[in-house]
């Protein structure tokens, strides 16, 4: 039976048969969740006591704490500072994304460190080849005081990282060497000289088509984009009713289909005209349908954050959770939506598993 996991400000919520089946870590922020079968990883963010990682091997019935990724010792010398003058800590502040490929677990963090574990979280290696890039010192916080890695995509030896703000970084050799990609992305918020600077693009979220992973969908701070060449070049898309947003989900088999969750604009992070909608394309982003059946169409203030939209492995069911605690699911690719609750805590991530 398909489960849906909802990581929230006040715990991890498991949904079965359209209802809340279980709550773990009650009262504690759960910043990310990953689930495949009986294996579930939950990133727990104890404000005072740091970010921790817990693993379940029985489908979420019980969890045990495993090691969280940690920074290596910082070389002696003054604090590192970002271009805003803020100290970049060499210490884990938040687990922002969790992915697994084969037996290897990957974590993208705040600050923007990438980590891998080959033993299910018993030990971690930082991907130094990315952290040690000189360009890293130009990255800036996007949504948080420190920059972070919110999207990690693994396909064979290819590793892609989406960084807010630090653009799209790619490795074709399992993380040994890295290059900046993202030609075609542009930043309205930058001075003219930096408009096309790849390293300062505020990538909000990346989603790839599992069957054709060269096809990437990218929600950016000031637009939506699609790539058909593994992120080397992008085409800008016109998403109705607005191209601003955080989340995007890619159909696992059809490289022409993706879903976006638009909001008005960066300074007005609410649905256009108070009507909650999802924008779907089925022709590679040339055109979009605005889907609204079952979603509130007036006085809606919901925002779907980066990891708040997911599609299942079949490409049929969708889940969408908002920062104001509403959760909807769809069983027909977004044509119609069912409200599961409007009373949940702020939702950080939804994930089928």
Partner 1 sequence: MPRVTFTGNLQRLVAAPPAEVAGATVREALDAVFAQNPRLRGYILDDQGALRRHVSVFVGGEPVKDRKGLSDAATAEISVLQALSGG
Question: Closest CB to partner 1 among 50 and 274?
Answer: 50
Q: How far is the CB of 69 from partner 1 (least distance, A)?
A: 9
Q: How far is the CB of 42 from partner 1 (least distance, A)?
A: 14
Q: HEC string of the chain?
A: CCCEEEEECCEEEEEECCEEEEEECCCCCEEEEEEECCEEEEEEEECCCEEEEEEECCCCCCCEEECCCCCCCCCCCCCCECCCCCECCCCCCEEEEEEEECCEEEEEEECCCEEEECCCCCCCEECHHHHCCHHHHHCCCCCCCCCEEEEEEEECCEEEEEEECCEEEEECCCCCCCEEECECECCCCCCHHHCCCHHHCCEEEEEECCCCCCCEEEEECCEEEEECCCCCECEEECCCCCCEEEEEEECCCCCCCEEEEEECECCECCCHHHCCCEEEECCCCCCCEEECECCCCCCCCCCCCCECEEECCCCCCEEEECCCCCEEEECCCCCECEEEECCCCCEEEEEEC
Examine residue 81 and tell whether it contacts partner 1 (CB under 8 A). no
Question: Closest CB to partner 1 among 71 and 144?
Answer: 71
Question: Closest CB to partner 1 among 68 and 277?
Answer: 68
Distance of CA 239 to the CA centre of its chain: 19
| Residue 185 CB coordination number (10 Å) | 27
Examine residue 120 and tell whether it contacts partner 1 (CB under 8 A). no
Question: Closest CB to partner 1 among 89 and 284?
Answer: 89
Residue choice 36, 74, 157, 293 for contact with partner 1 (CB under 8 A): 74
Examine residue 79 and tell whether it contacts partner 1 (CB under 8 A). no
**Interface of this chain with partner 1, residues 33 to 72, rule: CB under 8 A:** 46-50, 52, 65, 68, 70-71
Instruction: Write out the two tokens for 351.
Output: 């994930």
Question: Closest CB to partner 1 among 94 and 330?
Answer: 94
Residue choice 90, 131, 196, 301 for contact with partner 1 (CB under 8 A): 90
Q: How far is the CB of 242 from partner 1 (least distance, A)?
A: 33
Examine residue 301 and tell whether it contacts partner 1 (CB under 8 A). no
Question: Closest CB to partner 1 among 70 and 264?
Answer: 70
**Interface of this chain with partner 1, residues 91 to 110, rule: CB under 8 A:** 91-92
Instruction: Write out the two tokens for 320.
Output: 């969408």
Question: Closest CB to partner 1 among 113 and 245?
Answer: 113
Binding residues for partner 1, total number by CB under 8 A: 16
Examine residue 287 and tell whether it contacts partner 1 (CB under 8 A). no
Examine residue 158 and tell whether it contacts partner 1 (CB under 8 A). no
Residue choice 9, 10, 89, 274 for contact with partner 1 (CB under 8 A): 89
Question: Closest CB to partner 1 among 40 and 92?
Answer: 92
Q: How far is the CB of 91 from partner 1 (least distance, A)?
A: 4
Q: How far is the CB of 90 from partner 1 (least distance, A)?
A: 6
Site residues (vs partner 1, CB under 8 A): 46-50, 52, 65, 68, 70-71, 73-74, 89-92
């Amino acid at each position: 039976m398909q489960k849906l996991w909802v990581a929230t400000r006040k715990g991890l919520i498991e949904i079965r048969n359209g209802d809340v089946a279980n709550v773990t870590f009650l009262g504690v922020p759960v910043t990310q969740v990953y689930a495949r079968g009986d294996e579930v990883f939950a990133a727990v963010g104890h404000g005072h006591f740091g970010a921790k990682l817990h693993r379940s091997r029985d489908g979420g019935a019980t969890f045990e704490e495993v090691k969280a990724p940690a920074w290596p010792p910082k070389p002696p010398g003054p604090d590192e500072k970002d271009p805003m003058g803020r100290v970049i800590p060499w210490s884990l502040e938040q687990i922002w994304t969790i992915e697994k490929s084969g037996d290897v677990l990957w974590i993208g963090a705040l600050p923007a460190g990438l980590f891998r574990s080959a033993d299910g979280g018993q030990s971690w290696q930082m991907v130094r080849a990315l952290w040690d890039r000189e360009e890293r010192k130009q990255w800036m916080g996007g949504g948080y005081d420190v920059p972070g890695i919110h999207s990690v995509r693994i396909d064979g030896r290819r590793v892609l990282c989406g960084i807010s703000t630090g653009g799209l970084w790619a490795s074709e050799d399992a993380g040994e060497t890295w290059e900046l990609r993202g030609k075609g992305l542009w930043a309205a918020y930058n001075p003219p000289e930096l408009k096309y600077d790849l390293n300062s693009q505020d990538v909000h979220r990346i989603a790839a088509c599992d069957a054709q992973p060269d096809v990437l969908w990218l929600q950016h701070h000031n637009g939506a984009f699609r790539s058909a060449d593994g992120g080397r070049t992008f085409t800008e898309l016109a998403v109705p009713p607005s191209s601003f947003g955080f989340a995007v989900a890619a159909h696992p088999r059809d490289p022409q289909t993706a879903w976006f969750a638009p909001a008005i604009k960066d300074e007005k992070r609410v649905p256009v005209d108070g009507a909650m909608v999802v924008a779907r394309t089925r022709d590679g982003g040339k055109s979009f349908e605005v889907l609204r059946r079952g979603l509130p169409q007036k006085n809606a203030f919901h925002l779907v954050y980066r990891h708040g939209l997911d599609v299942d492995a079949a490409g049929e069911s969708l889940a969408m959770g908002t920062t104001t605690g509403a959760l909807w699911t769809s069983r027909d690719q977004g044509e119609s939506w069912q409200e599961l609750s409007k009373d949940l805590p702020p939702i950080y991530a939804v994930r089928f598993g």
